[in-house]
Structure 1
């Protein structure tokens, strides 16, 4: 049966260009399993943007362009990082929380995490080949789509619109709203078309087909549940379900896992913090419903982008390890129990997350930039002793450039070539810094596109890496371990330029000059405008803080003031750091379950948030002066 192809496939055969092999694989698989090529391409785009990731699994154990899941194999190389190591509340009023439960066995995993095994049965292709061979992986995805179509009692039609139900089923979603949202996204890709070069250098094109229309009625035969969406705070363009975190006292004044508040009435919401869960979806929901554990506002599922809200945004979750940031933020946990740092995140989850962040940013006036949309790895340690225990998710393989482009806020040059501020912006697919420790300490990670750029003490890759005296008080050298944040910058972050030498740029970072390679032909940063802070005239150095707490005089009688604890870092005379804005010192006092005692202490001291290193920090406005950068 000859199927009409929405994008003319490159010529088949030995003479085809090597860069066209993946396009040819889609055409061949579509013909073999009688799936419209546009449907196969659209599904693969929403899964992986057609990338193969060198055979590395996603955060949920999905392999290849079709994101065929094989959790059992991926679990064998899992390295997890427990959310409860330390105090995620970031406050000394509670003891450290217990550890998360272990990852479940294969028998406990849902079918959506074992689709590669089923594809192997349908195609006869060995599982190992489905994991490592992109063309075989595409064949496996086509077989699953054809099986879904047949399972719904539908013919293997040449019309893309006839495959809406099969696409929704392919998502693995167990509720109608999520399946429909996923299928709608696939059909939007088909209607609009896409074209890109993959991480393996493969040129793939999906020609636009404005006639491809969703047929939601096809979902009736899928037998999916209806999720509880009542009370959720989500945009209409995502699937969002309400599964509440409990607010319970469980013994002698002890309670978890969040605090009731009245934001933004009692305090502003200034940040959104991006995490990965380090747990399965089922465990994630179990943990957020456990009153003795932690809680965050939203959880996002990898395979289909489904969102669960568990805390009202007016309330304060315990998720960031810094109580000041907790009190001023909304926490988003992205499914990632296979949290190998070289793992990747699905397009479906990126899109849902970007829509949610855009919605929350508009609702609360949160700027959509890296100074306010924080990775957990950029949240500062609130005190010196907490710096080494701060978390490193979502890691160097989270594609910040793509994420912000989905929000309609792409990173680009905003000033002339000689500006004294730069925005970090490497080409994600081509930027592959070497890391170790993904599967085993000291062992090299597989090459992988990254948002991270390494910084050195001199303009040479043979120079020592920049040291972080907060992370290693003994002065030990920094490493290239995937969880070592001491000597790296990340896409979208902005820094003040200290010097330029040929292909190298120096920025002010951790109180010193930090050099990164920035060649003209493959730049890792672009010029930008902005505001920077520098010590006031006459000051040789000023202290740096991990939280913006009010002065002691602001606390009411009977309440012990929180210490204004400087970190071991210094902002030295002549150095400049980009500021994300100013804020007045605040402290959310909530040591007991009884909300009648909760108070937001507001002071008069003003702080500036600065991009001091990989993590943000704060300086007092009384210690610095603000300087606009206008050089172009």
Structure 2
């Protein structure tokens, strides 16, 4: 017998479809008009169509750029080795693929056509299509997920969005209570058992082609945590990492709406997420896109920070920005995540339980510089010596650890043997430096001051 479960009770007792959800906003807004027309053309509930699109993309088409799993546009029409909803939409609508990728109206029309096709394949008749709850299996099928467990995560997200309502880009859906008829998805899948390493997570295994079995930390020391952004949705990324075509994975994934965590690779094994750092790091993927800050909720930050803190404590990883890094900071890769909207100061304050300097010595000194030495300045900060093998230059910076955001006396200096000392000294909020100099084949003195503590090195690091 099919199960009906009330996701969210609301104040509105609305029923039936809203394929022609006319309003003054719709009359003035091209995207709202696109949803109305697509819903009417394919007899799909307009509000459900909007909720699906919002759950997929926050109504952001990303200028026609694909997601990590090959999905395009507001409706995330996919073209990858195992899912071809983009091509299916082109056939159903007679729209060219290039338009479906980058034109919002065409993409919405394509999504409506694919969703209706899924409903038809399930035998959903005209009367049944008037019941929003009966669309649940069609929404789950739209995901083209790797298994029922992932399809349920996807469909639940859409119905939760419908219940919460949408107000974005001039498109509105009023919050409404819906009883989803989950049908074959009614039972909680067994795949969502307790995770292996982090008690707060669910467990869904990645495909074995997407990671390397290992025996860390005995085989390789774990000393870094890498923060990623999925360039896609939580359910979509879980499904993609279950696809052998992905050739990528992450140890953990974090959902935007509530911070739910799924583990897909055991920490002892090497997830394929950070190239040369796969051996030494644990990867955490976060739902969303780097160019849209709305995905980065406080729930996500807090849940991810708790996970990071747990990993750091278990492996003795320092809770600082040298050891907890973004994908963009990993050497030898071309990724930009977590991007400019990721709030490192907030995230690290949640990791440590206090204020954290968002600046790293590598960022202060610039591309190509790597830390080769450091000295603690009491609890007030740390002075770092870096070297660039390409240019033969050294760099020194003092990174504060207290009085962050407040200008206090801080300094950094570098002296190449045979040359005059170079110093950056003053009242700084976060760091002193960078102080750089050519030093290939020469010894250097370096040091700095923060608070009442000072460090002065001898001539060293020669050659």
Q: 1:275–1:394: 8 Å Cα contact kept in structure 2?
A: no
Contact 1:60 1:335 in 2 (8 A): no
Question: Per the alignment, do residues 269 and 135 of structure 1 end up closer, same or farther by CA in structure 2, a change over 3 Å counting?
Answer: same
Confirm whether residue 179 of structure 1 aligns to residue 148 of structure 2: no
Aligned: 1:540 with 2:413: yes
- CA displacement, residues 484-516 of structure 1 (integer Å, 9 cap, x when unaligned): xxxxxxxxxxxxxxxxxxxxxxxxxx879xxxx
Q: 1:369 to 1:127 in 2, by over 3 A?
A: farther
Asked if structure 2 preserves the Cα contact closer than 8 Å seen for 1:58 and 1:343, the reply is: no
Deviation, structure 1 residue 313: 2.9
Secondary structure of 1:181's aligned partner: helix
What's the counterpart of residue 53 of structure 1? 62
**Structure 1, residues 422-457: CA drift from partner, whole Å, max 9, x if none?**
989xxxxxxxxxxxxxxxxxxxxxxxxxxxxxx9xx
Alignment of 1:23-42 (within 5 A): 23-42=32-51
Shift of 1:369: 9.5
Alignment of 1:184-223 (within 5 A): 184-197=156-169, 203-209=170-176, 211-219=177-185
Call closer, same or farther: CA 1:160–1:361 in 2, change over 3 Å: farther
> Which residue of structure 2 lines up, in the alignment, with residue 261 of structure 1?
217
Structure 2 length normalisation: TM-score?
A: 0.59
Match of 1:517 in 2: none
User: Which residue pairs with 1:141 in the alignment?
Assistant: 111
C-alpha displacement of 1:184? 0.9
Matched residue SS, 1:50 = coil
Structure 1 residue aligned with 2:120, among 150, 156, 164? 150
Whether the aligned pair in 2 keeps the contact of 1:272 and 1:331 (CA below 8 Å) is yes
2-side partners of 1:58 and 1:350: how far apart? 20
Q: 1:206 to 1:232 in 2, by over 3 A?
A: farther
Alignment CA distance shift 1:393-1:204 (3 Å): same
Unaligned runs of 5+ in 2: 1-14, 232-236, 371-394, 417-421, 436-445, 453-463
Question: 1:352-371 residue pairs with structure 2 within 5 A?
Answer: 357=304, 360-361=307-308, 363-364=310-311
Q: Decide whether aligned partners of structure 1 residues 21 and 306 sit closer, same or farther in structure 2, where only a CA change above 3 A counts.
A: farther
Aligned-residue offset at 1:229: 5.0
The structure with the greater share of residues assigned to helix is 2
- 1:430 aligns with none
TM superposition shift of 1:23: 1.0
Deviations 1:156-214 (A, max 9, x none): 422322111111111110211101111111111111112223xxxxx2222211x1233
Do the aligned partners of residues 128 and 574 (structure 1) sit closer, same or farther apart at CA in structure 2, a change above 3 Å counting? Answer: same
Whole-angstrom CA distance in 2 between matches of 1:148 and 1:349: 31
Q: CA RMSD in A?
A: 5.8
Q: Distance in 1 between matches of 2:42 and 2:53?
A: 15
Cα pair 1:577 1:612 within 8 Å, conserved = no
Shift of 1:320: 4.7
SS at match of 1:138: helix
Provide the rounded CA distance (Å) in 1 between the counterparts of 2:150 and 2:72: 22
SS of residue paired to 2:178: coil
**Structure 1 residues 39 and 333, CA gap change in structure 2 (3 angstroms):** same
Separation in 1 of the partners of 2:65 and 2:242? Answer: 23
**What is the distance in 2 between the residues matched to 1:237 and 1:53?**
30
* Contact persistence 2:254–2:286 (CA under 8 A): yes
Q: Give the structure 1 partner of residue 368 of structure 2.
A: 470
**Cα displacement string for residues 362-415 of structure 1 (whole angstroms, at most 9, x for unaligned residues):** 644789997775212224xxxxxxxxx5323244867536x999x9999xxx99
Distance of 1:352 and 1:154 partners within structure 2: 37
Aligned pair count reads 372
Q: What's the TM-score once normalised by structure 1's chain length?
A: 0.45
